[in-house]
Structure 1
């Protein structure tokens, strides 16, 4: 768990921002590289991959690999920076600052490609190539979806502002995301490690993103003065379908896109009536260990409940799980499954 500690002054400086195009490129890169074809991004990912240039693919695989530690260009280039501003920031960045981030890419156990070695050596043309690759990543990710993604962020900014004005910054932080917990004056974020962050007058930017999934992620600038908390902007099943798939498709199709086809099938099997793990496996056409694993994840997300009956475990659907199956908008109570 990562804990962000606030003072009263820190709370007054919190704001929601729209990520700039090159920041979006970094977040979109691992989403495009995901290997799970049942993932939320579905059809968009296949179309985006088809637009990728070889340079963009190589850059993404080294700097922003799927499910690995990524180089942070979001704070280096500027989270809110326009395309031109971000390019200028990267081109003017002192070499030691860039190398501090590039060190992550150079420690992957593979021999770095020539362009990465040149970038670390201070070659100016290599920097220009990096900017071009980021622009190509952005084009591949946003072509045809820029308006929808921008609209989603507008909704998040408006909702945060509404709660902020009506109930205060604490309430706005408390409703930021289902996996984020506000325990005044600390904001708790799920993390692979355990740590504490003290803002001490620095900025905390909240950045909703369609490419962030399934949990929020904190980016911290090298000087520790700016923190960018990127969190998932997709809030319900219809929203997911409208953004990434066929907006006219049925709620069950959106559910499969959101949870994955197998996990959605397990949820439907539980909803058919209280069921043991053995029968659940048969209904969902999966192995018993797989059924147990999916049931554990669904139970952790409050989509099903389980209780022991003799030597068996009986699973049943919760009201929230039923709402998801019925395609009801569940807003900020939407569970996000790992």
Structure 2
């Protein structure tokens, strides 16, 4: 049993928030393991193609392997208060880059040695010692987010917000104690503590500190506590599946690859240039170019030069994916 001691101030400062960084790490771990999500299906070619980027690969190297459970807190910064949903990811990316060097060394060197059954890679160790890993990790999260999750974030955020709205109604009707005790079967409320039914014993005093509760959508249906950094406590629990899967086919987010890229793919039955696509779809040429680059890396569009222009066209793989999402 793991216990989080709380007081009146902790309870008064408890808040809920979605976490795009946490969703990204869950999706990245699933992608790296060639797994399939029970609701959202296969991560898709864009997510897999992103694994080839060196900074995304660095993130993967710091995720637990082979039954290990420890994830350095710096990879999943606590969501800030009062941040707009569409700005949360930028705030979290900025916090990764701003992580203090001593905190990086403590989490990556000390805690992985305690909790992992494998040694830290020499490349990662060298980057930590050089003080350059914070920027690389921040860039890796930004890259994977753009490639794999940005277009699907409104739906993921809405799923988390449905859970948060349900908890808010519960607090109003029954109080925060009962609400905390009903978050998950592993979570209990003891009046002055939150208990977590875990196979290890431990106790942490959160008196006077803020506690952030994060409903997870893409992660495993389990409860985890993030408590490495003093004053930065986060409790993750699986979001209620309110409406999940009832208005879409499983894997649609991954298969359709987001509204912007789906629109581009659907318009590429005929070969077109970046400028023509921008006029037809209504995006800037720079935005179209960015999405086309991601789709090309994933093998969903081909490109060929025609005089002064580069023409893009959907591949047979893209045609199959689009047909499956219709």
Q: Same fold (TM over 0.5)?
A: yes
Are the counterparts in 2 of residues 153 and 233 from structure 1 also a CA contact under 8 Å?
A: yes
Partners of 2:249 and 2:194 in 1: CA distance: 30
Paired residues for 1:36-51 under 5 Å: 36-37=35-36, 39-40=37-38, 43-47=41-45, 49-51=47-49
Structure with more relative contact order (C-alpha pairs < 8 Å, separation 6 or more): 2
CA deviation map 1:266-300 (0-9, x unaligned) = xxxxxxxxxxxxxxxxxxxxxxxxxxxxxxxxxxx
User: Does residue 118 of the first structure (1) align with residue 116 of the second (2)?
Assistant: no
Could you state the TM-score of these two structures normalised by the residue count of structure 2?
A: 0.64
Instruction: Name the counterpart of 1:190.
Output: 197
User: Does residue 92 of the first structure (1) align with residue 92 of the second (2)?
Assistant: no
How far 1:189 sits from its partner (Å)? 1.6
Paired residues for 1:170-189 under 5 Å: 170-189=177-196
In structure 2, do the counterparts of structure 1 residues 166 and 28 end up closer, same or farther at CA, with 3 Å as the change threshold?
same
Partners of 1:32 and 1:148 in 2: CA distance: 19
Worse overlay, 196-205 or 77-86: 77-86
In structure 2, do the counterparts of structure 1 residues 49 and 234 end up closer, same or farther at CA, with 3 Å as the change threshold?
farther
Instruction: Name the counterpart of 2:231.
Output: 225
CA deviation map 1:220-275 (0-9, x unaligned) = 142x2221001111436x5256578168xxxxxxxxxxxxxxxxxxxxxxxxxxxx
User: Does residue 138 of the first structure (1) align with residue 137 of the second (2)?
Assistant: no
Could you state the TM-score of these two structures normalised by the residue count of structure 1?
A: 0.62
How far 1:108 sits from its partner (Å)? 5.1
RMSD: 2.9
Are the counterparts in 1 of residues 223 and 237 from structure 2 also a CA contact under 8 Å?
A: yes
Are the counterparts in 1 of residues 14 and 211 from structure 2 also a CA contact under 8 Å?
A: yes
CA deviation map 1:167-202 (0-9, x unaligned) = 211121122123322232332223231112221111
Q: How many residues align?
A: 240
Partners of 2:60 and 2:251 in 1: CA distance: 29
Are the counterparts in 1 of residues 42 and 251 from structure 2 also a CA contact under 8 Å?
A: no
Paired residues for 1:1-338 under 5 Å: 1-19=1-19, 21-37=20-36, 39-40=37-38, 43-47=41-45, 49-54=47-52, 55-66=54-65, 67-68=67-68, 69-74=70-75, 77-80=77-80, 82-103=88-109, 104-105=111-112, 109-110=118-119, 112-114=121-123, 116-124=124-132, 126-222=133-229, 224-235=230-241, 239-240=244-245, 245=250
Q: Which runs of 5+ in 1 are unaligned?
A: 248-338
Q: Which runs of 5+ in 2 are unaligned?
A: 253-326
Partners of 1:11 and 1:142 in 2: CA distance: 32
In structure 2, do the counterparts of structure 1 residues 243 and 5 end up closer, same or farther at CA, with 3 Å as the change threshold?
farther
In structure 2, do the counterparts of structure 1 residues 2 and 15 end up closer, same or farther at CA, with 3 Å as the change threshold?
same
Partners of 1:153 and 1:138 in 2: CA distance: 17
